[in-house]
């Protein structure tokens, strides 16, 4: 049993419903016409950021929807039960994540999110911001990996932006011979695979999401890559398996995965769902397997000091933020049987928690 990590900071004032600022924001958001106006403003802000950097928001949305609609039926698992919390209004969409608009704008919104991490770099290209964001995440996971990753699962994969980045990183890792390191503090344990140079074909990367629309768009985006099926470093791309399902009840095989990621998912979950997802990840990982969760950093000064108008816009689109910031995720991981929990800031706004099964 590893010692508990020091607790993260308490929720920022603007999040806390019992702090005057958070309370005031909550009261404003309870006034429906005002909430709607803020919702709409939040959406405009995201689109403006994207379009200001050359992202063709609307054209891309239309193209993706035309291509993804025919894939919806074959992507949907009719047996999937949608938990009630998932039907909340997210991200300025009244239908939350369960609509074409959310799915066909997710790629652009993800680009906008990465750009907003570095607001003082107006020349930063969207692709560069995205690869910088993901590179920092994967570099922070690396010290917890003590062997090859042959099967990885990206929970809450949305339209695959993080899943593709994960696959490309794992391909590069394999190509580099999977340098086998056991950094201080993370000794190899029984059940860890021996070091070996895996061939790229032995890599299996999977994505899972509750939104079939998002997954249909992920499939379109993957097909677009097949036009030139090599990663940024020239390695042949392994096809990704997409699963329609709930991260807390995936139906996937037990003890089958070496690595599970949750990239920017937990802030969209009530605490009970996060706990259930972490327990499911513990079931899915082989002994020694690694879980990595990246999301907003409660210790980030940028997040804590968000100007009140921006905080209000953000809160209007994220129904479970307070739940997220109040949860001691490190303790939740330990309660689910994870050990060697580490926390690392990966950029000015986000932190990673990583732990081993
Ligand atoms: C902000 S997006 C994540 C983006 C993506 N992982 C990335 O790194 O760009 C959150 C995703 O989590 C999915 N999600 C939320 N709750 C879920 C659950 N219980 N099971 C599966 N997916 C879920 C949503 O449908 C949405 O696609």
Residue 97 Cβ inside 6 Å of ligand 1? The answer reads yes
User: Considering the chain, what is the average pLDDT of its residues?
Assistant: 86
Closest residue by Cα to atom 24, ligand 1, is: 156
The pLDDT value given to residue 230:
67
C-alpha 155 – ligand 1 centre gap (Å): 7
Residue 210 Cβ inside 6 Å of ligand 1? The answer reads yes
Domains and CATH numbers, the chain: 20-356 (3.40.50.150)
> Tens digit of pLDDT for each residue in 169-219?
999 998 887 544 444 333 333 334 433 334 445 899 999 999 999 999 999
pLDDT at 49 over 70: yes
Residue 141 Cβ inside 6 Å of ligand 1? The answer reads no
CB-based contacts of 77: which residues, under 8 Å, 6+ apart?
212, 243, 244, 245
More confident residue, 293 or 27: 293
The pLDDT value given to residue 197:
38
Confidence of residue 228 (pLDDT cuts 50, 70, 90): low
pLDDT at 53 over 50: yes
C-alpha 263 – ligand 1 centre gap (Å): 8
C-alpha 189 – ligand 1 centre gap (Å): 32
Residue 93 Cβ inside 6 Å of ligand 1? The answer reads no
Confidence of residue 315 (pLDDT cuts 50, 70, 90): confident
Which DSSP letter does residue 191 get?
A: T
Residue 209 Cβ inside 6 Å of ligand 1? The answer reads yes
The pLDDT value given to residue 2:
56
Lowest mean pLDDT among 117-121, 258-262, 291-295: 117-121
pLDDT at 162 over 80: yes
Residue 247 Cβ inside 6 Å of ligand 1? The answer reads yes
Residue 148 Cβ inside 6 Å of ligand 1? The answer reads no
> Tens digit of pLDDT for each residue in 99-128?
899 999 999 999 988 998 998 998 899 999
The pLDDT value given to residue 121:
92
Provide the whole-model pTM: 0.89
Please say whether the beta carbons of 200 and 238 come within 8 A. yes
The pLDDT value given to residue 195:
37
Work out the average pLDDT over 123-144.
96
Please say whether the beta carbons of 137 and 184 come within 8 A. no
The pLDDT value given to residue 191:
39
pLDDT at 92 over 80: no
- CA triplet 260, 106, 309: central angle to 5 degrees? 105
The strand pairing partners of 204, in sequence order, are 151
More confident residue, 278 or 233: 278
Best substitution site from 87, 221, 268 to test ligand 1's pocket, by max atoms within 8 Å of Cβ? 268
Element (H, E) at 204: strand 204-209
pLDDT at 23 over 60: yes
Best substitution site from 126, 165, 210, 279 to test ligand 1's pocket, by max atoms within 8 Å of Cβ? 210
C-alpha 261 – ligand 1 centre gap (Å): 11
C-alpha 39 – ligand 1 centre gap (Å): 20
C-alpha 156 – ligand 1 centre gap (Å): 3
The pLDDT value given to residue 62:
95
Please say whether the beta carbons of 306 and 314 come within 8 A. yes
- Backbone dihedral angles phi then psi of residue 354, each to the nearest 5 degrees: -135, 140
The pLDDT value given to residue 349:
95
Dihedral (CA of 131, 166, 142, 9) sign:
positive
Q: Measure the CA–CA gap between 134 and 138, rounded to whole angstroms.
A: 6
Please say whether the beta carbons of 284 and 256 come within 8 A. yes
Residue 268 Cβ inside 6 Å of ligand 1? The answer reads yes
Residue 211 Cβ inside 6 Å of ligand 1? The answer reads yes
Confidence of residue 235 (pLDDT cuts 50, 70, 90): low
Work out the average pLDDT over 285-312.
89
Q: Measure the CA–CA gap between 183 and 342, rounded to whole angstroms.
A: 13
Lowest mean pLDDT among 77-86, 255-264, 272-281, 298-307: 298-307
93 HSE (CA, 13 A, CB side) = 18
More confident residue, 334 or 99: 334
The pLDDT value given to residue 184:
38
Work out the average pLDDT over 209-230.
89
The pLDDT value given to residue 179:
46
Work out the average pLDDT over 5-22.
78
Residue 314 Cβ inside 6 Å of ligand 1? The answer reads no
Nearest ligand 1 atom, CA 262:
6
Spell out the alpha helix ranges (H) of the chain. 20-30, 32-52, 57-68, 72-75, 100-117, 126-141, 161-175, 212-225, 271-284, 301-304, 308-317, 321-326, 329-335
Closest residue by Cα to atom 13, ligand 1, is: 156
Work out the average pLDDT over 49-78.
93
Work out the average pLDDT over 71-97.
85
């Amino acid at each position: 049993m590893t010692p508990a990590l020091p607790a993260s900071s308490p929720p920022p004032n603007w999040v806390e419903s019992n702090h005057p600022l958070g309370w005031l924001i909550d009261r404003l958001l309870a006034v429906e016409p005002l909430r709607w106006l803020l919702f709409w403003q939040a959406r405009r802000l995201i689109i403006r950021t994207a379009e200001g950097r050359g992202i063709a928001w609307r054209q891309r949305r239309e193209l993706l929807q035309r291509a993804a609609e025919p894939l919806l039926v074959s992507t949907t698992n009719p047996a999937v039960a949608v938990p009630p919390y998932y039907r909340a209004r997210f991200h300025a969409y009244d239908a939350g994540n369960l609509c074409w608009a959310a799915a066909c704008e997710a790629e652009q919104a993800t680009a906008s999110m990465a750009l907003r991490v570095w607001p003082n770099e107006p020349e930063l290209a969207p692709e560069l911001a995205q690869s910088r964001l993901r590179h920092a995440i994967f570099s922070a996971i690396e010290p917890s990996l003590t062997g090859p990753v042959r099967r990885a699962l990206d929970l809450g994969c949305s339209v695959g932006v993080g899943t593709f980045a994960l696959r490309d990183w794992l391909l590069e890792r394999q190509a580099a011979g999977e340098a086998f390191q056991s950094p201080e503090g993370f000794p190899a344990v029984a059940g860890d695979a021996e070091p070996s140079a895996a061939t790229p074909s032995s890599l299996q990367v999977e994505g899972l999401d509750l939104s079939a629309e998002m997954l249909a768009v992920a499939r379109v985006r993957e097909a677009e890559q097949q036009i030139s099926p090599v990663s940024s470093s020239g390695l042949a791309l392994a096809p990704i398996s997409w699963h329609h399902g709930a991260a807390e009840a995936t139906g996937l095989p037990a003890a089958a995965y070496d690595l599970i990621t949750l990239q920017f998912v937990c802030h969209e979950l009530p605490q009970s769902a996060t706990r259930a997802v972490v327990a499911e990840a513990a079931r899915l990982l082989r002994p020694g397997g690694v879980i990595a969760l990246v999301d907003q950093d409660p210790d980030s000064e940028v997040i804590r000091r968000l100007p009140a108008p921006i905080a209000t816009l953000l809160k209007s689109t994220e129904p479970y933020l307070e739940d997220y910031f109040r949860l001691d995720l490190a303790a939740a991981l330990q309660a689910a049987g994870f050990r060697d929990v580490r926390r690392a800031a990966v950029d000015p706004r986000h932190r990673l928690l990583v732990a081993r099964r």
